[in-house]
Amino acid sequence: MIKLKNKTLPSLLENSINLYGKNVALSYVNEKSLSYIDLQNKVENIKDMLLGQGVKKGDKVAILSRNMPNWGIAFFAISSIGAVVVPLLPDFHDNEIQNILEHSETKTLFVSKLMFSKIEQKSENLLKTIIYSDDFTIKKGNTITKSDEIITKPIVNESDLASIIYTSGTTGKSKGVMLTHKNIVFDAIKVLTIEHVKARHRFLSILPLSHTYENTLGLVLPILQGASVYYLEKPPTPSALIPAMEKVQPTHILSVPMVIEKIYRNKVLPNFTKSPIISVLYKIPPIRKILNKLAGKKLFQTFGGKLEFFGIGGAALDPVVEKFLREAKFPYAIGYGLTESAPLISGSNPQVVKYRATGPVMEGVSIKINNPNPETGEGEVWAKGANIMKGYYKEPELTKEVLTHDGWLKTGDLGYFDKDNFLFLKGRMKNMIVGSSGENIYPEEIESVINNFKYVLESIVVEKKGKLVALVHFNYEELEKQFQHAKDEAVTFAKKKAEELKKELQEYVNSRVNKFSKIYTVVPHVTPFEKTATQKIKRYLYF
């Protein structure tokens, strides 16, 4: 039983330092690690630095940095003086960063030297203080002295804002989600009812800390339990990841579907399709299961051989890939939530995961299906609990649209419960297409079929003039390899081949979906689709 003085981030950190002082807290994969006592000392130093720069309770302090131990140090230092963290996604465009800094009224920024160019031209003049996150040197600032102002360390309350997270959503304009200390700490504590993280566990962090998924579950949760978090010195490409996993031997990794789907399609599946004989055998279920189990053992070793929990969230996992993970006996788990719910509201661990389900509702959270269809039981998922956001920053009207007067969050997702009370999702309400006869068409379900066609990397299905159109990004790099003997013509060949594949793809999809979900045409999309932090396609850009 966790006993904190209160549900605030400073209270959580203090509790962990007292219990786990000598444990490894944060570390780069290949550098000296920080113990919990080291973490405390560094957080205290940065708190003093911020107070010395005149940062007060309620002030907004942004972080624009790749993942590193200093990200977490800055996060806990900011929240420990009652200031509000504004995490900025490294992938945000310069204009988005400027808009967020202006909208949030941020005056202090931690920025990594690699990211400084993003604010140098337009945003630097907005800021009073700029601190490099790499080494905590002050790039710009004006240290106050005690004679200027009495520096006191504020008291932090559960209801105080801890962070404003600007979502780069799939439906347009970024919104500032206001999460309190209680929202975040409550969610981290309740996740333990799904997966009991222990002090011996090692997390390998590969998702951006500026997203609430990695922030709460990949930083706050392991710190709560005295576990260790490791960061890559380089972006999480296979060449950086594989040796890191071998060295750290992580027990826990949080991921988005795209990561494991790429591994399956680029590394696993080619082994089953490279020869005609194996390809035929792989289609026979009993043999497929044996082959998948063998592939799973190899995959498990690639991940370091000690993995206990491979969490997948942020978007829907492809059903074919999930079937492989099940048959491979790979320790995957599914979770569901939103930035607005800090984030988790339902989930399962590898022992109880159910195919295509997001898991049971997390303890302490209520979920109801609003206005369910009497035949299917499907309706909008509404959630309620101490993890639900305070609202959207400076957006009272938008807040009213998603939060009811009695505290229910309208998630915008369509779902239903099965007989075991596992939550299943069908797709986003805004994405759902109503067919000519009134039937509900879920583009995500059609896309999962499209994405399992050879040479397809990703797709979105949209409605145009009453017809279903598939925008498809083919694997042009793979197509070009087939024509490498004439390099100058390879790109032309790849585009021509993609055009030829259109008809074949259409027939493939239409033979596998119901009559309402058949696609009218396929439109090749030469460049990858723009995506959010959790690798969901920004659909609104393509309608």
pLDDT in tens, the chain (543 residues): 678 999 999 999 999 999 999 999 999 999 999 999 999 999 999 999 999 999 999 999 999 999 999 999 999 999 999 999 999 999 888 888 999 999 999 999 999 999 999 998 878 888 999 999 999 999 999 877 654 455 677 899 999 999 999 986 544 567 999 999 999 999 999 999 999 999 999 999 999 999 999 999 999 999 999 999 999 999 888 889 999 999 999 999 999 999 999 999 889 999 998 889 999 999 999 999 999 999 999 999 999 999 999 999 988 899 999 999 999 999 999 999 999 999 999 999 999 999 999 999 999 999 999 999 999 999 999 999 999 999 999 999 999 999 999 999 999 999 999 999 999 999 999 888 988 777 889 899 999 999 999 889 999 999 998 899 999 999 888 877 776 655 556 667 777 777 888 989 999 999 999 988 999 999 999 899 998 877 889 888 887
Q: Which of 203, 228, 253 is the last residue before a domain boundary?
A: 228
Q: Which of 327, 196, 188, 222 is nearest to 268 (CA)?
A: 327
Domain count, the chain: 3
Domain that holds residue 504: 433-542
Task: Based on the fold, state whether residues 91 and 133 are members of the same structural domain.
Answer: yes
Task: Based on the fold, state whether residues 168 and 212 are members of the same structural domain.
Answer: yes
- Cα–Cα dist 281/279, whole Å: 6
306 in Cβ contact with 230 (< 8 Å): no
Is residue 405, in this structure, part of any structural domain at all? no
Is residue 461, in this structure, part of any structural domain at all? yes
Is residue 403, in this structure, part of any structural domain at all? no
What CATH number did the domain enclosing 483 receive? Answer: 3.30.300.30
* Pairing label, strands 228-231, 202-205: parallel
What three-state secondary structure class fits 462?
Answer: strand
Is residue 368, in this structure, part of any structural domain at all? yes
What CATH number did the domain enclosing 164 receive? Answer: 3.40.50.12780
Q: Which of 243, 240, 229, 202 is nearest to 68 (CA)?
A: 229
Task: Based on the fold, state whether residues 212 and 264 are members of the same structural domain.
Answer: no
Task: Based on the fold, state whether residues 454 and 483 are members of the same structural domain.
Answer: yes
Q: Which secondary structure element, helix H or strand E, spans residue 414, and what is its range?
A: strand 409-417
Task: Based on the fold, state whether residues 374 and 447 are members of the same structural domain.
Answer: no
Is residue 87, in this structure, part of any structural domain at all? yes
Q: Which of 213, 228, 243 is the last residue before a domain boundary?
A: 228
Is residue 396, in this structure, part of any structural domain at all? no
pLDDT of the residue at 171: 46
- Cα–Cα dist 18/408, whole Å: 37
| Helical axes 443-450 vs 487-510, angle rounded to 10° | 130
Give residues with Cβ within 8 angstroms of 299, minimum separation 6. Answer: 263, 268, 328, 330
Q: Which of 400, 428, 456 is the last residue before a domain boundary?
A: 428
- Cα–Cα dist 289/349, whole Å: 22
- Cα–Cα dist 123/34, whole Å: 32
Task: Based on the fold, state whether residues 468 and 502 are members of the same structural domain.
Answer: yes
Task: Based on the fold, state whether residues 202 and 349 are members of the same structural domain.
Answer: no
Task: Based on the fold, state whether residues 180 and 282 are members of the same structural domain.
Answer: no
Task: Based on the fold, state whether residues 178 and 312 are members of the same structural domain.
Answer: no
Task: Based on the fold, state whether residues 241 and 197 are members of the same structural domain.
Answer: no
For residue 419, the one-letter residue type is K
Is residue 458, in this structure, part of any structural domain at all? yes
| Helical axes 69-80 vs 9-20, angle rounded to 10° | 120
Task: Based on the fold, state whether residues 213 and 287 are members of the same structural domain.
Answer: no
pLDDT of the residue at 1: 60
pTM of the shown model: 0.90
Give residues with Cβ within 8 angstroms of 206, minimum separation 6. Answer: 232, 236, 241, 253, 254, 255, 259
Task: Based on the fold, state whether residues 212 and 246 are members of the same structural domain.
Answer: no
**Before 10, cis peptide (omega within 30)?**
no
Is residue 280, in this structure, part of any structural domain at all? yes
